A and B are shown apart, each in its own frame.
Chain A
Amino acid sequence: MEILVCARRVPDTSENEIELNAAGNDIEREEFVYSVNEADNYAVEEALQIRDRVGGNVTVVTVDGEDGEEILRRQLAMGANQAALVSDELFNGSDGKGIATILKAFVEKAHYDLILAGVQADDGAAQVGGMLAAMLDYPFASLVNSITVEDRKLKVSREIEGGNREMNEIDLPCVLSIQTGINEPRYVGMRGIRQVASVPIPALAASDLGVDNGAVGEAAAKVKRVDYFIAAAGKGAEMLHGSREENADRVLELVAAKGGLK
């Protein structure tokens, strides 16, 4: 099975202190460290596991600047067969639809049976996967938390609010957005990354993909970020300062008052 995983490089939320920039419309990115978006990492692991079960190839693609190579190396070290960096200054400022347009052009350059994306990027809007499916006219399932391959079909389960699951059959080729927790991604250390240091990663520009320049980039973006907030601490929190016994009694009272204990 030929599998494509769309991955993204994002600021690592657990390793950065988020502060607003002077203009107040974005965050201060200078001291940031980046990593592959968590849900995308689960998608790559899932792709690798499917490949190891049924055979085939896993390709990881990202739309980013030069720095995107960093996460692609990591995914190659995990075991992806190849990676591609789609990079062009024309793409800067693209909105979700623009990114989906670029990815569609990339997909049409080759043949993929299955396209996986993370359920959403840490700083994203969970829209690219669905849009890409629509543009390709492929079936789409979101929030997928298990995949079974059955000939030219997949059986996928989806997470439903409240922890329930539903099972779906979906025809290949298709696009799935992968929920975190679907598997346990393998660890990639420095050694793994060094071992793939010399694997070539092709960089593809707009002209290589035949993307319509008018459909991507800042000019084509119909969604624009105009402001960025760091939420102020709410007033709902109550700190308990008593002894352990007092606090335990108070917690019991509060939970009971909210109907948590019957």
Chain B
Amino acid sequence: MVGISPQDVVNWLVPGRELFLALHVLGVSCFFYIVARRLVPLVRAQRDPRFDHPLVRLGRVFKFWLGQWKHPRYKFAGTLHILIFTGFILLALRAFTVLIVGVSQNFVMPGLAGRTGEIYDLITDYAATVVFLCMVVAAGRRLIFKPARYSVPAKYGKGQTADAIFLLGLIALLMVADSLFAASRSAGHLQQGQPAEALAAFSMPWVLQRFISSAMSASLRSLNVGAYLVHEIAFYFLLCYRPFGIQFHVETSLFSIYFSKLERGTLKPVRWGVSDELLDQVKSFGVKTFEDFTWKHMLDFYSCADCGRCADNCPANTVGRPLAPRFLTTKARDYVFQHYPVLGKANNSNPLIGNIYSEDEIWSCTTCGACEEECPLLIEYIDKIVDLRRGMIDDGNVPQSLQKPLKALESRGNPYGKIEKKRGDWAKTPEFVQDGKVKVLEGKNGANTLYFVDSITSYDDRMQSIGRATARILSHLGKNFGILGAAERDSGHEVRRFGEEMLFTALRDHNTEAIKASGVQRIVTADPHAFNALKHDYKDVPPVEHISQVLAREVRAGNVRFNDVENKDSVYAYHDPCYLGRHNQVYDDPRDVLDSIPGLNRVEMKRSRDRSFCCGGGGLMLFYEPKEEQRMGVVRVRMAAEAGANVIVTACPFCMVNIEDAIKVAGMEGKMSVIDLTELVDQHMVCEGCPAQTEKLKTATVGG
């Protein structure tokens, strides 16, 4: 079509011109009509301001959309997708050119004339070939290898294999039609002794041209028109069929990624644009009907490609809880397709819980963030889960096992119902006081660092040892620190993530006031949940750090020395707590601290860093009784054993609870133990001039 002067072209498409024009108009109008109908629920949705930071957002489009950043996390499927995606991007101009040529025979895409055009044609010959081959491989995967993550358990709906094969077939057909069109035209020109288009050697058009080169000119002509017609129909059918299923992501993914959430660890407010003070005037909280979702969350439902990576990494799904993020999305998509049909009236406002979602499904999430970390399209799940929980809380629909701790948090500021004045008692054990007293900050009495302890470390007998280890570390580091003692309340991190926004607000306001009154300039905590709350959910409090960050800095500055590792035969594996790792990207600090202990033998679990596997969840999740086949902690402990470790080091009291229990449940006592980073550091820290460390922990004695 290029490289020869237009008047030389024998254009065989002329007879079909009116037909092609009609097909264009029909195809394009159908597509826009369908898309307009798909946008109807988005218009009725809740607001969601996503128009800030255009450059950052564009950068994300380049990285995650054009750059396909997340795809290689699954090597084979990822490579396949990158090939198909690249092929589509390359072929886009060629496809448009072919479409336009049908009605305007001499059309040349601007910028693709002459030499550039020839090169482009050669490249796209290969692109079409590669896409075609990818379709064959993808179909093979679906039909023969059947990766487990594509299967759909009956309770979540029907399988997608037939639809997937149909779509793969359509795309393959499009590629064949495109290649045949190019091949027949080139062959025709060749036969008529005209300058023929060069075809890329060994590409599909090239191979096809060999087959048909000896055909009669008239047959070539029919073949050319036929291939064009098939290409046109397949193209428009695909275009208009995509908004009915997973292929819609071809159109929507760019927008989903552009409008994706920018800040980790945060939660969306109850209603965007409604301040905390005005929350009382909001009639209904959270998501109860489909229209309570924000438009971006609805867009997510359209964009999901159902690749199954979220569910594959979801700990709740792994242990057989009735939740898989993937189906949260596909069920919502089925719902919106059904209730906002392309033809006919929209019928809406049905409650989602009890209809497409079950209560247990929504309570099963630990908000670990593995799904969001994995999603190539940056689809959000935690905000949706929390919004659904807000809706259930608003309707009084809360499991009995959670009502008592919630009530206790309201009256006592901790989920255990323990009295406030005993909150600081962990620092008063006789052996500990011997090592130095922990200041309770009352008024501005001089300490510049606050150690925020939070409920579990304050009240749980076992976790109090983490509190004491942290306090000893801080005083060995010469920090002038104190605690809030009885004035501290639960950080409310899980209260908020379980959807009880008003209770969270009360806890947050109380703590904020107490922190401000203490006059400290910085906050340190050993609890990643408190860390995340203070960092992201609180406003107007001094900067907060996790103890591992403080320690890593001091280690790097050479201010901390460690004795040789006590248990030389132990093999340590670091377990990334979700709210330290994934939600706050603190991966290296704790590892660096561990590696600075001389002689410490550390291995990595297969699932570590941003693929860490949740221990079972913290805060209120400890009170929830999920329906599950096994415990997340048990799965995690087995992973550590598989990595060759016999001591799990963690940096979160909730991980400690779950993993300690899991070791017992798995019957691995004596073979596996768990220790907190602060405890391990406390055991090994060299402290000149310190009083003898009387409460050394000997929990990690395996092999030592």
- Interface residues of chain A, those whose CB is within 8 Å of chain B, are 12, 14-17, 31, 33, 35, 78, 184-192, 194-195, 244
Scoring A184, A186, A187, A190 by chain B CB atoms within 10 A of each residue's CB, the highest score goes to A187
Q: Please judge, given known A-B contacts A188-B396, A189-B500, A244-B669, whether A35 and B407 are in contact too, CB under 8 Å.
A: yes
Q: Determine how close the nearest CB of chain B comes to the CB of A104; give it in whole angstroms.
A: 32
Residues of A within 8 A of B418 (CB): 15
Interchain residue pairs with CB less than 8 A apart (25): A12-B407, A12-B417, A15-B408, A15-B411, A15-B412, A15-B417, A15-B418, A15-B419, A16-B417, A31-B421, A35-B407, A35-B411, A185-B403, A189-B393, A189-B500, A189-B503, A190-B503, A190-B506, A191-B279, A191-B280, A191-B394, A191-B501, A191-B502, A192-B396, A244-B669
Please report the C-alpha to C-alpha distance between residue A31 and residue B503 in the assembled complex, in whole angstroms.
21
Scoring A14, A35, A184, A191 by chain B CB atoms within 10 A of each residue's CB, the highest score goes to A191
* Closest chain A residue to B402, Cβ basis: A187
Residues of A within 8 A of B407 (CB): 12, 15, 35
* Closest chain A residue to B392, Cβ basis: A187
1/0 contact string of B486-527 vs chain A (CB within 8 Å): 000000000000001111001000000000000000000000
Beyond A14-B404, A35-B407, A187-B403, 13 extra complex contacts between A and B, CB < 8 Å: A15-B417, A33-B411, A35-B411, A184-B400, A185-B400, A187-B397, A187-B398, A189-B410, A189-B500, A191-B285, A191-B502, A194-B502, A195-B280
A187, B396: Cβ atoms under 8 Å?
Answer: yes
Query: 4 closest Cβ contacts across the A-B interface?
Result: A186-B396, A15-B417, A187-B398, A33-B411
* Closest chain A residue to B405, Cβ basis: A14
B419, A12: Cβ atoms under 8 Å?
Answer: no
Residues of B within 8 A of A186 (CB): 395-398
Please report the C-alpha to C-alpha distance between residue A190 and residue B393 in the assembled complex, in whole angstroms.
11
Residues of B within 8 A of A190 (CB): 410, 502-503, 506
Please report the C-alpha to C-alpha distance between residue A53 and residue B701 in the assembled complex, in whole angstroms.
62
Please report the C-alpha to C-alpha distance between residue A196 and residue B254 in the assembled complex, in whole angstroms.
46
Residues of B within 8 A of A12 (CB): 407, 411, 417
Cβ of B406 under 8 Å from chain A: yes
Please report the C-alpha to C-alpha distance between residue A152 and residue B437 in the assembled complex, in whole angstroms.
70
Scoring B279, B403, B501 by chain A CB atoms within 10 A of each residue's CB, the highest score goes to B403
Q: Determine how close the nearest CB of chain B comes to the CB of A229; give it in whole angstroms.
A: 22
Residues of A within 8 A of B400 (CB): 184-185
Please report the C-alpha to C-alpha distance between residue A78 and residue B396 in the assembled complex, in whole angstroms.
8
Residues of A within 8 A of B501 (CB): 191
Residues of A within 8 A of B285 (CB): 191
Residues of A within 8 A of B411 (CB): 12, 15, 33, 35
Residues of B within 8 A of A188 (CB): 396
Q: Please judge, given known A-B contacts A12-B417, A188-B396, A189-B393, whether A33 and B412 are in contact too, CB under 8 Å.
A: yes
Please report the C-alpha to C-alpha distance between residue A194 and residue B505 in the assembled complex, in whole angstroms.
13
Residues of A within 8 A of B398 (CB): 186-187
* Closest chain A residue to B506, Cβ basis: A190
Please report the C-alpha to C-alpha distance between residue A244 and residue B407 in the assembled complex, in whole angstroms.
36
A194, B421: Cβ atoms under 8 Å?
Answer: no
A194, B419: Cβ atoms under 8 Å?
Answer: no
Residues of A within 8 A of B397 (CB): 186-187
* Closest chain B residue to A48, Cβ basis: B396
A31, B419: Cβ atoms under 8 Å?
Answer: yes
Please report the C-alpha to C-alpha distance between residue A164 and residue B4 in the assembled complex, in whole angstroms.
95
Q: Determine how close the nearest CB of chain A comes to the CB of B508; give it in whole angstroms.
A: 13
Please report the C-alpha to C-alpha distance between residue A244 and residue B402 in the assembled complex, in whole angstroms.
31
Please report the C-alpha to C-alpha distance between residue A195 and residue B281 in the assembled complex, in whole angstroms.
9
Which B residues from 407 to 449 make CB contacts under 8 A with A?
407-408, 410-412, 417-419, 421
Residues of B within 8 A of A16 (CB): 417, 419
A187, B393: Cβ atoms under 8 Å?
Answer: yes
Please report the C-alpha to C-alpha distance between residue A247 and residue B285 in the assembled complex, in whole angstroms.
51
Q: Please judge, given known A-B contacts A31-B421, A191-B280, A195-B280, whether A14 and B410 are in contact too, CB under 8 Å.
A: no
Please report the C-alpha to C-alpha distance between residue A213 and residue B29 in the assembled complex, in whole angstroms.
85
Residues of A within 8 A of B408 (CB): 14-15
Q: Determine how close the nearest CB of chain A comes to the CB of B389; give it in whole angstroms.
A: 11
